[in-house]
Amino acid sequence: MTLIKTGVPSRNELMTVTPSRERLEKGPVVIVECFQEIPCNPCETACKQGAIVVPNMNDIPRVDHELCNGCSLCISKCPGLAVFVVDETYSSSEALVKIPYELLPLPQEGDTVTALDREGEAIGEARVLKVQDRKQQDRTAVISLAVAKDFSMKVRNIKTRG
Amino acid sequence: MRIASHPVVQFSRDKKIKFYFEGKELEGYEGETIAAALHSAGIKDYHYSPRLNRPRGFFCAIGNCSSCLMEVDGVSNVRVCTEKLIEGMKVQRQQGKGILKP
Amino acid sequence: MKKREIAVIGGGPAGLMAALYASRMGAAVTLLERHYNPGGQLVKQTHKFFGSQKQYAATRGIDIPQNLLKEIEQQEVEILLDTNVLGYYPDDGVIGYEKDEKFHTLKPDRLIVATGATENVLPFTNNDLPGIYGAGAVQTLMNEYGIVPGKKALMVGAGNIGLIISYQLMQAGVEVEGIIVRGPIIRGYGVHAAKVRRMGVPINTCCTVKSAHGSTCLEKVTTINLTENRETIPGTEREIHVDLLCIATGLSPLTELLWQAGCQMEYVAELGGHVSLRDKNMRTSQESIFVAGDASGIEEASMAMVEGMLAGLCAAKDLGYDDGRFKELYNDAIMQLSELRSGSDSEKVRKGLKECTLKEVTS
């Protein structure tokens, strides 16, 4: 089952955008979950490291994970909310996952929230480490979550509690 | 029902204005359409079709489809989806095609 | 009788850009817009746009009209809001319009029709019940007027409009029970679909509405599954209790004025219905009439903006106006359109355009 049939990228599709295990173990890195040729390139415009390149605006973004330093500027720029940053070096048991978020109420730092996968299914808890909502993000907040390391490639949304 | 807080838009609800729906006093805000004010009061059926008396309401929101016609201040066939709400307006459900006054 | 060099009908993305660029070249422009809030569909597009920087990528649609209007204010553009264009009289080249409950006429040297599109209706039993709205209409209620359109919604259609508005319904606090699609695939952008799926909204392909139910307003909907050949499968009916049904099954260009003007029209399914033939400069078969935006064929806002820019530039050039940058801006607009439409995503539009593009209609 693929993205255009279900709205959920398949494992094969995800493999095309996932950084190498080696790179993931070095520090924060971007994962651009964008799989179609659509006319769009704000991710390229946002990246100061030149790590995201969209040669023709209809190309699928090409990411050089080695050039990416995980700065996360691109997360709030993607109109499709398809950009995430994962840091598997956060701790021995947890990974840090940064997601774009445009719902109210925004969670508070320190909150425990329900972690959701790409199908909106609850797969455990996440701790909210940071909520960034600066003016230049233009109302797309970026939430940093601590999740169980096993779920670093699964958690892509949250549900706030209460 | 009105959206209390929204992650992207801030709604300017500066001035409350009164209007009348079938004799009942309701409230809306300056700058909105009659349809928006009716919707916030939970009123969705605007007129009844000429032959089969079927309830009709909002559909396109931009004045194209003629589904939202009502009688406003005695004038029939007013497209409430685009007509601005004015203080003191008298709005009624319309039966069928309404009456065109000379 | 009022005379004007260029009249632009429609103050949406295409019309605003047409007025801006025509006036930048030096022409005297009047923009006629029926709503009291200019911006067309932009006034309710709370999401960030795609495209590239030139087409305001990563800017929220709602913020674009004020940017364009600020630029337009620096030019000599007469903007008539709350103004309904009622007809075009081809024998005299005159537009009739209503403003402040009075009838007026205007004779422009060049006309740019940027009247946008309207939402399609879906035929099914009781499809006229209050509570069954065009998806764009729901967007207007929520994002322009801050009204919650219902408590529980079902979305019909998974093109970009159906997907984006499902997301926006949730931003407004409405529960979205699901998105149903007639065909076997999701036609909208994958990223939009992914967004709503991870919010827990199911997308059911090969499914459509069989009937709606309610006394004065919608109370529930019966859906039915389809084969890949769009035949209903008896016994697969499902009842869903919702008070809001959003129809996002496509748009049709609003072309009444072009018909009245005697422009050559063609039915092009890929562009949403009847459209006027036009050359690459957006000039119709009527020498003094240009078309831009969704009125010329259904696409995204980015294409509408560039088409408006192109029509504005060319209409002004016709009248001898060029501030020295015409050639550079014209080439840029042509290149932007070509770039925007070069992906596999635009294959349908490219095919449609082949059926309605004239060789250059010279003035």
**Closest chain B C-alpha to A102 CA, distance in angstroms:** 6
Contacts with B65 from chain C: Cβ below 8 Å: 118, 121, 134
Banded model confidence at residue B79, pLDDT cuts 50, 70, 90: very high
Name the token pair of C280. Answer: 């690459």
Name the token pair of C177. Answer: 């029970």
Cβ–Cβ gap A102/B5 under 8 Å: no
**Closest chain B C-alpha to A95 CA, distance in angstroms:** 28
- The one-letter code for the residue type at A72 is S
ipTM: 0.96
Counting one residue from chain A and one from chain B, the pairs whose CB atoms sit within 8 A come to 8
**Closest chain B C-alpha to C171 CA, distance in angstroms:** 7
- In terms of Cα–Cα distance, which of C151, C241, C166 is closest to C197? C166
B5 touches chain A (CB under 8 A): yes
* Global confidence as pTM: 0.94
Cβ–Cβ gap B8/A103 under 8 Å: no
Cα pseudo-dihedral C54, C56, C58, C63, rounded to 10: 160
Query: C218 pLDDT exceeds 70?
Result: yes
Banded model confidence at residue C363, pLDDT cuts 50, 70, 90: low
Cβ–Cβ gap A118/C198 under 8 Å: yes
Banded model confidence at residue C361, pLDDT cuts 50, 70, 90: low
Name the helix (H) or strand (E) containing C203. strand C203-204
Look at residue B78 and give its three-state secondary structure. strand
The tens digit of pLDDT for each residue in C10-63 reads 999 999 999 999 999 999 999 999 999 899 999 999 999 998 888 889 999 999
Query: C131 pLDDT exceeds 90?
Result: yes
* pLDDT > 70 fraction of chain C, expressed in percent and rounded: 99
Distance CA(C128)–CA(C214), nearest Å, equals 11
Residue A107 — φ and ψ, nearest 5°?
Answer: -70, 165
The tens digit of pLDDT for each residue in C174-208 reads 999 999 999 999 999 999 999 999 999 999 999 99
Contacts with B2 from chain C: Cβ below 8 Å: 146-148
C11 touches chain B (CB under 8 A): no
B8 touches chain A (CB under 8 A): yes
- In terms of Cα–Cα distance, which of C290, C243, C300, C297 is closest to C269? C297
Question: Is A81 exposed, middle or buried (CB count within 10 Å of its CB: 0-12, 13-18, 19+)?
Answer: buried
**Closest chain A C-alpha to C136 CA, distance in angstroms:** 19
A135 touches chain B (CB under 8 A): no
Q: Which of A76, A102, A103, A104 to mutate to test the interface with B (most CBs of B within 10 A)?
A: A104
Domain residue spans of chain A: 2-159
